[in-house]
């Protein structure tokens, strides 16, 4: 049996972590996988998380199973931060904890599939795992262009898709801090998208994995809130990996908004059944730590402060890159108006390899960089390396 399996390539993005770690050059720069780094290049545990973990160690009296929905205290405490004033009432929303944002996307796609969706449209380029998850769930994928030539989102492509989508189609949208392009929809575009979704009846799945790292917690939720206020059914896949710095602890949630409480109850029962068959229940610790923070006003304030300082640092790095103008053939100015941790650079696979081999700069083969991997201390070296390989 087992010898019938073909060798699979390692995940290209995750493989970079090992390559980077094995590089002995002290000047190496990690712009690969999406983890935030401080001005000193570190990825420390949030102070608020450390405190919450301390309280958990002292106060938690059991590790007994919860259930496939995980820690509902966590799921419900997070809801006001995600949905704000747009939080649906009358039982029209519920959620469940998932293993990271990946688990949330996976569950959203599996639920859509079970509900009869045959094809999901997604803007490209997208987070590479989106396509893998869709394929693995047996979902047909339709693609449209995400970023236009003028540095804004390609609204025409999205308009076309929503006009032609079939009755068994859904659309996958990035809520904020688009991965990998950093090109987000403006508020006015979200207003239009919400109207188009309403008119077309195409159900949206919104992936919100970087709330707070673009323009702020509320601003980054504008699209989600607008869509939730406009259409009867939405699935929101949420990740706490970045905005609570919990990466390896795998903390996410899936929220389902339905036409009425009865629909939502049924969605949750299907979500629980799918979770049980996939991972039984999500890992507890990270979600519990987030719950402890969100149940405590002063810890919540600490967390929001830490998140805001990360957001500001990313903004400073973006501004400095944009000020550099061009590096070789690469125009860095658009990075100043893009959002979040990522940007796509127009570099070839060979140039990516040359950056790695000659300059110790690690980035995805697609040309994506994690802007948050740059510091004021290494930006100049990065820009010079880029100029060297593209000039
Ligand atoms: C990324 O795109 O770098 C992150 O979302 C991490 C991941 O799981 O791919």
Q: Is the CB of 133 under 6 A from ligand 1?
A: no
Nearest to 78 by CA among 103, 97, 101, 55: 97
Concerning whether 215 is annotated as a catalytic residue, the answer is no
Q: Is the CB of 33 under 6 A from ligand 1?
A: yes
- Four-CA torsion 224, 230, 233, 239, nearest 10 degrees: 0
pLDDT at 149 over 90: no
- Kindly report the pTM of this predicted structure: 0.97
pLDDT at 348 over 90: yes
Average confidence score pLDDT of the chain: 97
Average pLDDT over residues 169-189: 98
Determine the pLDDT at residue 327.
96
pLDDT band of 257, cuts 50, 70, 90: very high
Q: Which residues contact 296 (CB under 8 A, 6 or more apart)?
A: none
Q: Which of 127, 175, 251, 343 to mutate to test the pocket of ligand 1 (most atoms within 8 A of CB)?
A: 127
Q: Is the CB of 126 under 6 A from ligand 1?
A: no
Q: Which of 11, 12, 13, 373 to mutate to test the pocket of ligand 1 (most atoms within 8 A of CB)?
A: 13
> Which ligand 1 atom is at minimum distance from the Cα of 34?
3
Catalytic member of 170, 209, 275, 288: 209
pLDDT band of 365, cuts 50, 70, 90: very high
Average pLDDT over residues 134-139: 97
Percent of the chain with pLDDT over 90: 97
Instruction: Tell the residue number behind the tokens 């860095």, with chain if given.
Output: 332
pLDDT at 380 over 90: yes
Concerning whether 63 is annotated as a catalytic residue, the answer is no
Phi–psi pair at 181, nearest 5 degrees: -90, -20
Give the largest Cα separation in the chain, rounded: 61
Query: How large is the ipTM?
Result: 0.95
pLDDT at 150 over 90: no
- Four-CA torsion 221, 146, 162, 174, nearest 10 degrees: -30
- Which one-letter DSSP state was computed for residue 81? H
* Separation CA 23–CA 356 (nearest Å): 10
> Hey, is 60 helix, strand or coil?
coil
C-alpha angle 81-82-84 in degrees, rounded to nearest 5: 65
> Which ligand 1 atom is at minimum distance from the Cα of 180?
2
Catalytic member of 121, 127, 190, 303: 127
Residue 184 Cα distances to 126, 152, 203, 368, angstroms: 12, 7, 20, 16
pLDDT band of 88, cuts 50, 70, 90: very high
What is the SS3 assignment for 190-213? HHHHHHHHHHHCCCEEEEECCCCC
pLDDT band of 5, cuts 50, 70, 90: very high
**CA–centroid distance, residue 338 to ligand 1 (Å):** 18
Residue-range domains of the chain with CATH: 2-45+306-390 (3.90.1150.10), 50-297 (3.40.640.10)
Determine the pLDDT at residue 369.
97
Average pLDDT over residues 335-354: 96
Determine the pLDDT at residue 324.
94
pLDDT band of 151, cuts 50, 70, 90: confident
Average pLDDT over residues 77-83: 98
């Amino acid at each position: 049996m087992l010898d019938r399996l073909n060798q699979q390539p390692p995940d290209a993005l995750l493989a970079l972590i090992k390559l980077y770690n094995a590089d002995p050059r002290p000047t190496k720069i990690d712009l690969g996988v999406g983890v935030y780094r401080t001005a000193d290049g570190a990825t420390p545990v949030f102070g608020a998380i450390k405190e919450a973990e301390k309280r958990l160690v002292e106060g938690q009296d059991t590790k007994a199973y919860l259930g496939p929905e995980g820690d509902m205290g966590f799921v419900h405490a997070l809801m006001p931060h995600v949905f704000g004033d747009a939080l649906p009432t009358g039982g029209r929303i519920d959620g469940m904890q998932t293993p990271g944002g990946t688990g949330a996307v996976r569950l959203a796609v599996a639920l859509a599939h079970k509900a009869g969706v045959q094809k999901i449209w997604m803007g490209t380029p997208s987070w590479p795992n989106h396509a893998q998850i869709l394929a693995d769930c047996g979902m047909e994928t339709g693609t449209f262009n995400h970023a236009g030539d003028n540095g804004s989102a390609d609204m025409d492509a999205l308009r076309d898709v929503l006009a032609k989508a079939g009755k068994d189609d859904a659309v996958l949208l990035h809520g904020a801090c688009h991965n990998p392009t950093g090109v987000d929809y403006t508020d006015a575009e979200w207003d239009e998208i919400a109207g188009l979704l309403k008119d077309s009846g195409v159900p949206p799945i919104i992936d919100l994995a970087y709330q707070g790292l673009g323009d702020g917690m509320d601003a980054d939720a504008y699209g989600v809130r607008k869509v939730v206020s406009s259409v009867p059914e939405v699935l929101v896949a949420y990740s706490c990996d970045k905005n609570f710095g919990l990466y390896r602890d795998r903390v996410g949630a899936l929220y389902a908004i339905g036409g009425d409480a009865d629909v939502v109850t049924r969605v949750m029962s299907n979500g629980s059944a799918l979770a049980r068959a996939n991972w039984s229940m999500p890992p507890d610790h990270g979600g519990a730590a987030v719950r402890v923070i969100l149940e405590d006003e002063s810890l919540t304030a600490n967390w929001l402060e830490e998140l805001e300082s990360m957001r500001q640092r990313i903004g400073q790095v973006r501004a400095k890159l944009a000020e550099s103008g061009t590096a070789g053939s690469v125009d860095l100015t658009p990075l100043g108006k893009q959002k979040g941790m990522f940007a796509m650079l127009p570099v070839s696979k060979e140039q990516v390899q040359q950056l790695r081999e000659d300059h110790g700069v690690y980035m995805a083969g697609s040309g994506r960089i994690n802007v948050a991997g740059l510091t004021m201390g290494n930006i100049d070296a990065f820009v010079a390396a880029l100029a060297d390989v593209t000039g």
